[in-house]
Structure 1
Amino acid sequence: MSNFQSIIDRFEIEALRGEFTDAGMMRDYGRLAALFTEDGVVRILHINAEAVSREEIRAGVERLQDLWDYFVQTTHPGTIQLEGDTALGRAYICELGHLREGGSQLNYGVYHDRYRRTEDGWKFAERVYEVRYLDTTPLTGSAPSA
């Protein structure tokens, strides 16, 4: 692989990670699920959740997002290790939100990712979310009224 192709691959994988966060924040669950391979997997370790396939991923994310009055996720660049048409990586996450039932969370975590190049570009083959810090102290802010 040329250095130029490596740069392109890294750029495309970073864009994929940004698309994931944007799709989640915009509640565009179809777009979010399409970022995965057909047999893609999401695992959220601290709640023992797993979704296998685009359909399960879409349904699972929609179900989880419906629990939130508001939810904000930011993604920070991590590592990317290219291995031909596959890659491994980590992305660092900060999330905060207020649950519809009350309660709020601020957490910092890591996505442990596996990526696969497809004819439609790079996709997630697997995302495993590991929370590294969780604070359930009530958040003092709120989402502005529309």
Structure 2
Amino acid sequence: MDRWEDEVATTRITDRDAIVDVVNRYAYSLDERDWELLNQIFTVDAVGRYGGPPLEGREAIVASIRSFLDGCGPSQHLLGNHIVEIDGDNAVARCKARVYHYGAGDRAALSPYECFGVYRDRFRRTSEGWRITERTFDVQHAVGDITILQPAPAATQ
């Protein structure tokens, strides 16, 4: 491999790592309920597909996620088997996800809700780094009580 090919390979590895880092930050932001961190994940005009109608824009995506997790107990989003394909300033990526949700308050005794599936993403390189422009979560299997996923109680919003 000549020097130019080596530089291109290093750039591709760096871009791949940066994209995987964005995906991992998404998981941490959900589990830590760090909603501001999602501003570093999605473009303003991003589209999210989480099993219902498409969510148009970062604000709609964050609001939807909060409606499920703000009233939920602890969660853990485990991600792996990342595949990233980069084409200049655009990329597509996918990874496997196993997600566990525990109930809070009067729902703590319910059977925890767990699902696994695949995140399918489109990315764009921006001046701030790689950002998700489109995210789809294809849930392939779920067990437990989905009512654990709920908004925060009105008094704490």
**Which TM-score band (shorter chain)?**
0.7 to 0.9
- Which residue matches 2:87? 83
Which structure shows the bigger proportion of residues in helix conformation?
2
Query: How far, CA to CA, are the matches of 2:16 and 2:116 in structure 1?
Result: 23
2:117 to 102, 109, 113: 109
- Three-state SS of the structure 2 residue aligned to 1:69 is coil
1:74 to 51, 75, 78: 78
- Which residue matches 2:151? none
- Three-state SS of the structure 2 residue aligned to 1:133 is strand
Please give the residue correspondences for 1:53-64 in structure 2 after superposition, counting only pairs within 5 Å.
Answer: 53-64=57-68
Instruction: String of CA shifts for 1:66-120, please: whole Å, max 9, x gaps.
Output: 2412221111132101111000110110011124443421211100110110000
- Three-state SS of the structure 1 residue aligned to 2:33 is coil
Amino acid at match of 2:69: Q
Please give the residue correspondences for 1:2-81 in structure 2 after superposition, counting only pairs within 5 Å.
Answer: 2-45=8-51, 48-81=52-85
Moved over 2 A (4+): 98-104
Larger radius of gyration: 2
- Three-state SS of the structure 1 residue aligned to 2:59 is helix
1:118 to 126, 129, 139: 126
- Three-state SS of the structure 2 residue aligned to 1:73 is strand
Query: How far, CA to CA, are the matches of 2:116 and 2:53 in structure 1?
Result: 18
Structure 1's unaligned 5+ residue stretches are: 138-146
Is the Cα contact below 8 Å between 2:31 and 2:74 reproduced in 1?
no
Structure 2's unaligned 5+ residue stretches are: 1-6, 146-157
Which structure shows the bigger proportion of residues in strand conformation?
1
Query: How far, CA to CA, are the matches of 1:2 and 1:34 in structure 2?
Result: 26
Query: How far, CA to CA, are the matches of 1:67 and 1:87 in structure 2?
Result: 34
Give identity over the alignment, percent. 25
Aligned-residue RMSD, C-alpha: 1.9
Is the Cα contact below 8 Å between 2:33 and 2:70 reproduced in 1?
no
CA shift, 1:16, in A, is 0.6
